[in-house]
Structure 1
Amino acid sequence: MQSKNVSDIIEKYLKQILAETSQIEIRRSEVAELFHVVPSQINYVIKTRFTIQNGYVVESKRGGGGYIRIEKVKLLDNIEVLDSLLAIIGSSISERDGGSIVKTLYHSQLLSSKEARIILAAIDKDSLMINNDTMMANRLRAQILSSVLNHLRFED
C-alpha cells in the first residue's frame, strides 16, 4: 500500500462512505489500523482534505469514547458555513485556498462551471500580481472571494 499515496487512499475511503450517507463518525485508531498507519496520519488527512473550504464540517471528541465526525455540508442550507468561509478568507488568502473555495462552491452547485472558471481566472496569481507583491495579490483575492460569497448569501 505504500507505493500509492496513503493519504489519497484514506481520503477516497472516507469520501466513499460519505457518498452513501450525509455524515460519518470514525475512530481514528480503527481507521489507522485498517490502513496500517499511525493515528496522526488520519488526523493529517482530515485536517487537509476535509476542510470547510472543501465543503466539510469536522467535529471531534477526544478521550476513550472519542470520535471524529465528518459531515458534507450544503452551502445554501447553512449560512454558518458561508460565514465560516468568510472568516477563513479573512483579509488575505492564497491562490490554492481560494481555488479550493471556488471548487467547493461549484460542486455545491452555487456556481456554474462558467462562473467558477471566471472567478478562478480573476483570482489567479497572474491576474492579481502587482510588482511581484504576493501579499497584495492575496489581499485582492480575499476581497474578490468575500464579495462573491456575500453576493451568494444575499441572492434570492
Structure 2
Amino acid sequence: MRNISDLIEQFLKLKLDKSDDGAVEIQRNELADRFSCVPSQINYVISTRFTLEKGYMVESKRGGGGYIRIQRVELPALQMISHHIEKTIGNSLDQTNAEGLIYQLVQAEMITAREVNLLKAAIHRETIGLTLPLRDQVRARLLRAMLIALLSR
C-alpha cells in the first residue's frame, strides 16, 4: 500500500502531465483537505519530491489568495541557470554585482521577497566583516551555496 506522500506526488504529477504548459497551481489547504492530511504534509511532498535537481521549479505565494506553482523545467534550462550563476559569481563577487544577480533572480520569479532579504543580509559587507579581497571571496562562496540551496528546493 502506498503512503500519503506517494499519493500526493502521483496526483501532482498527473496534473502536470495533463497541463498544457507543464505547470500546475495548487492551494495547499485545498490539497490537504482532498487527501485528509495537514498542510505541512503537502509542504513535505513538494520540498522533497519536486526539487530543481528532479526537474521542477516551485514558486510559492503566501497569504489569503496564496498558491504553490509547480513547473517542469527542461534540463537545458537548469544547466543554463547553474552556468549563469557560476559565471556571474566566480571566485570573487562585490556587493553591487551580488545584488544585481539577486535582482535578476527576483525578476525571473525564481526567489521570493523574503529570500531576497535573507540573501542581502547574509552577503552585506557589514555582515561579512572582513577586509578586501577576502570579503568578496567569502561573499561569492556564501551566495553560491545559498542559491544552490534555494534553487534546489
Taking structure 2 as the reference length, what is the TM-score of the superposition?
0.50
- Which runs of structure 2 are paired with 1:116-127 in the superposition (5 Å)? none
Describe the superposition over 1:5-32 as per-residue Cα deviations: whole angstroms up to 9, x where unpaired.
Answer: 1000000000001111210000000000
1:84–1:66 CA distance, 2 compared to 1 (3 A) = farther
Distance 2:84 2:57 in 1: 10
Counterpart of 1:136 in structure 2 is: none
Runs of at least 5 residues in structure 1 that lack an aligned partner in the other structure:
87-156
Mapping 1:2-151, distance limit 5 Å = 4-21=2-19, 22-78=22-78, 79-80=80-81, 82-83=82-83
| 1:124-155 CA-partner distances (Å, limit 9, x unpaired) | xxxxxxxxxxxxxxxxxxxxxxxxxxxxxxxx
CA distance change for structure 1 residues 4 and 53 in 2, over 3 Å: closer, same or farther?
same
CA distance in 1, matches of 2:83, 2:11: 29
Report the Cα offset of residue 51 of structure 1.
Answer: 0.3
Larger RCO (CA within 8 A; separation ≥ 6):
2
CA gap 1:52/1:37 in 2 versus in 1, 3 angstroms = same
Tell me what 1:150 maps to.
none
Please say if residues 52 and 85 of structure 1, whose CA atoms lie closer than 8 Å, have aligned partners that are also in contact.
no
Cα offsets for 1:69-115 (capped at 9, x unmatched): 000011214511x44997xxxxxxxxxxxxxxxxxxxxxxxxxxxxx
Cα contact 1:25–1:67 (8 A) shared by 2: yes
Q: Percent identity?
A: 53
RMSD in angstroms over aligned alpha carbons? 2.0
Give the 3 Å change call, closer, same or farther, for CA 41–72 of structure 1 in structure 2: same
- After TM superposition, the runs of 4+ consecutive aligned structure 1 residues lying more than 2 A away are 82-86
Give the number of equivalent residue pairs: 83
Distance 1:36 1:85 in 2: 40
For structure 2, the residue ranges without an aligned partner over 5 or more in a row are 87-153
- AA paired with 2:18? E
